Homo-oligomer: A and B are copies of this chain.
Amino acid sequence: MKKRVSTLLAAAAFGLAASAQTWIWYPGDYEIWLGNRMNNNRTERGAFFPPFWKTDSHFVTVEFSKDLDLSEAEEIVIKAEGKYNVKLDGKLQFGQPSTFLIPAGKHKLNIKVWNQSTPPAIYVKGKTVNSDPTWKVTNEDKEWIDESGKASDTSATVYALAGYWDFDDMNNPPSAYSLNLEPKNYVAVEQKTADGGRLYDFGKETFGRIVLKQPVGDGVVNIYYGESPEEALDLEHCETLDKILFDGDKVTDLATNAVRKNEGDYTLDNTKAFRYVYVAPEAGVNFGDAAMLYEYAPVEYRGKFKCSDPELNKIWDVGAYTMHLTTREFFIDGIKRDRWVWSGDAVQSYLMNYYLFFDSPTVKRTTRLLRGKDPVTAHINTIMDYTLYWFNGIYDYYLYTGDKEFVKEIYPKMQSLMDYVLGRTNKDGMLEGMTGDWVFVDWADFPMSKQGALSFEQVLFCKSLETMKLCADIVGDSADAVKYGRLAKELRDKLLPTFWDEERQALVHNVENGKKSEQVNKFANMFAINYGYFNEPTTKSVMENVMLNPEVPAITTPYMRFYELESLCDQGLQKQVLKEMKDYWGGMLREGATSFWEKYNPSDSGTQHLAMYGRPFGKSLCHAWGASPIYLIGKYYLGVKPLEPGYKEFSITPDLGGLKWMEGTVPTPNGEITLYVNDKEIKVKATEGKGYINIKSKSQPKSDYGTVEKTGDKSYRLYIDTDKEITIKYKEIG
C-alpha cells in the first residue's frame, strides 16, 4: 500500500500495461464487493444502515485462462483467493498447486476459482507467464463434453478481459485492502462537568477511528460525534454515536456486539466523520485521554492553485480537502452521511478529480460499482437522473483520459442499462417517472413537479444517447452507433418543440398530462447551455431571461450551483462567478466551515445551517458536491480543458476574472499543464499533448515560442507543441 500513489499514476499513465504481474479478477466484481463493504459502513445512531437500492455481489465462480507459447519450460507460482483448480491443455491437475511446471510449446492454461465471500482472484508469477489484464475471464465457461469425452465446440462462452487495480504484491491480496491510517491528536479539549464527559475538537472536519487511551474501571463509555459542537453535545439527536462496554478483561462494542480483549488503549473498529467528539463515560469507568486514527486515500494533489485573493485560495484549499475526504475506496457523497456512492454526486467528483488528483482508477471503480450487475431492476441509486449522469460520466472520462480500453470493458453494461432506460419511455420517446423511479433533480426550495416529462431529464437523456453513440463508435458497433445516433437526434429535435416557451424565452419545467408547465427554472436551461443544445442567439436569450433573471428561483445546493456556475463561466462571466464563489463558498467559510456542505442557504442562520431531512443535524458538512470551485477554477480560470480525448489536444483559455494574478497546475493523464497569469504575462508549460492557448488581449501578444495568431477582436491564439515553459506578454482586456 505504501507505493499506492506512484502505482496509481503508473496505472493512469499506461492503462492496460500495468505491471508485469498483478492480482486479477472478473472485471467489476472487486468494485461491487469493496463497494458493499464501504456502503455498509454507514451507521445512524449506532444502527447499521445499508443502502436501500439493490446490493449486488460478485460472480462466485470465475475461470481465468491464457494461451501460452513458451520457448522453454517454465515454473509458475500460483496464488488464489478461493478454492481453485488448474487445467493445462484441458487436463485437470491434482489439488491446488502453488507451483506448476509448464513444458515448452503452445498451451492453454485455465485456473478456475470459487469464492462466496470475496471475489475470486488469482496471482500468477513466472518468467514470462504472469497474471495481467490480458488474461481472459468468464463466469460461465460452458465446457460440456459429449459421451466420448470430446469438448463442445459450440459453447459460445463469452469472455472478458481480467479486471485489476494495483495489487502487484502476491502477499497483498485484493480482499485485504484498506485505506491508509495515521495517528492524529485533538487540538482542544473541554471538560463538561455536568456529566463528567469531555468535548474534543480535532481542529477541522476529519474521518477515522477514535482511540480511548488508558481506560480504567468497568462500564460504558459513550461517544457522540459531531460535525459541529452542537451536534456532539446533543446526545438525543447527534447523527452518529458509539457505546463501548469495558468489563474486566473484555471490551464490547455494543453497536456491533464485537468483543475484544482489554489490552489498554482501545481503538474503535468503526470509522466516523467528525470534528468534535463528546466522550462521556458512565459511572464506574473512565479513560485517560482520546486521540484518533485518521483514515484516508493516498491520492496525490496533482492539481494546484494559488492567486492574489486569499479568500479564493482558502476556498480552493477547503474544496481540495473536501474532495480528499470524500475520495475514498470510491467517490462518496459525504463522509458523515450517506457515506454511499451516488451517481449524481460521483459525476461531479469525477470532474473535480480531473483538476485535482486525476485519479483514473477511482473514477473507473466508482463507475463499475454504480452500475453493478445485470439484470437492471431499477435506476442507479433508484434515481432516473442518476442513471443518465452515469452515461455522461463515461463521456467525461473518455474525454479527459482517452482510455478506450475502459469504454470497451463497460460498453456491454452501458447497453443493458440503456435497454432498461429505453423500456421506460413514453409514446414520445421521453422519460417520465414510472412507479419505482425517483425523479430527483435537486433539493429545491420551491415547489417542483416530478410528474410527466421533465425537460431537465430529457436534456440529460439526450446527452446519454449521444454518449452511447460515441461509445458504440469506439467499440466498433456500427449498428448501435446508427441506432443511438438516430435516437439522440430524434430526441434532440423534440426538445425545443416540446418545452420551449417563446414568451419566457426558456425551456419550461415539464409537460404533464399533455399540458406544458408555466414554471421556468434553471435546471434544464443550464444543462442545455452546457451541452451546447441552444444556438448562439437562443443561448444569449436564455442567459438573460433565465440564468441571470432574479425572478427565476435561486438554486441553494452546491450540487446544482456546480452546473449553474459552469454555464455562467461558459458564457464568459468569470467576474460574476468569482463574486458568487466568494459570496457562497466564502459564506460557508465565514460560518466556520472546514469542509464544504451538502447545502447552504445564505439566508439561514446559526443552527439552521445544520438541519436537513427534518433532523437538527441531518445535513452533511463535508459533501463532495460542495467542492465545485476546484472544477470551475481549473476549467474556467486557469482555463484548461482537453479538446481531444486524453489531452492529445488541449486548449488553455486563462481568465483572471478580476484576480491580480493566479498560478496553478492541471494534471493530464501522463503529465501536467502549469500556468502563471497576471495582467501582463502568461507563463505556460505543458509536459504532454499539444494545443492552443487562447488569449484576450488589448494588443498583439508576444511570445518566446511560435507565432501568436489573431483570431478575432482582441482575441489571439498560440499553438503549443513543446514541453518547455513559454512566456507570453499581453495586455489583459479586464
Contact = CB atoms under 8 A, between A and B. Distances in A.
Nearest to A154: B435
Contact of A155 (B57, B95, B150, B382): B382
B118 A156 contact: no
13 contacts: A36-B60, A44-B92, A45-B94, A47-B86, A47-B92, A47-B94, A55-B60, A56-B60, A95-B243, A140-B378, A154-B437, A156-B435, A375-B375
A53 B98 CA distance: 26
Contacts of A50: 61, 85, 112, 114
Contacts of A606: none
B155 A436 contact: yes
A117 interface: yes
Each complex incorporates copies of this chain amounting to 2
A180 interface: no
Which 9 pairs of residues, A with B, have the shortest CB-CB distance? A149-B614, A156-B436, A47-B92, A55-B61, A156-B435, A46-B94, A117-B117, A149-B613, A54-B140
A387 to B, nearest CB: 14
A477 B5 CA distance: 58
B255 A96 contact: yes
Contacts of A145: 613
B48 A55 contact: no
Given A85-B47, A155-B436, A377-B140, A33 B149 contact: no
A150 B257 CA distance: 31
A191 interface: no
Contacts of A154: 433, 435-437
Interface of A: 33, 36, 40, 44-61, 83-87, 92-96, 98, 112, 114, 116-118, 139-145, 147-150, 152, 154-157, 243, 254-257, 374-375, 377-378, 382, 433, 435-438, 443, 612-615, 618
Nearest to A443: B147
Contacts of A60: 36, 55-57
A149 B615 contact: yes
A257 B84 CA distance: 11
Contacts of A40: 61, 83, 114
A121 to B, nearest CB: 15
A141 B155 CA distance: 37
A94 to B, nearest CB: 4
Contacts of A95: 46-47, 243, 254-257
A52 B142 CA distance: 5
Most buried by B among A51, A98, A117, A615: A51
Given A147-B613, A382-B144, A48 B156 contact: no
B117 A116 contact: yes
A147 B40 CA distance: 22
Contacts of A98: 257
A449 B581 CA distance: 74
A96 B40 CA distance: 14
A144 B438 contact: yes
A148 B614 contact: yes
Given A255-B94, A375-B375, A142 B55 contact: no
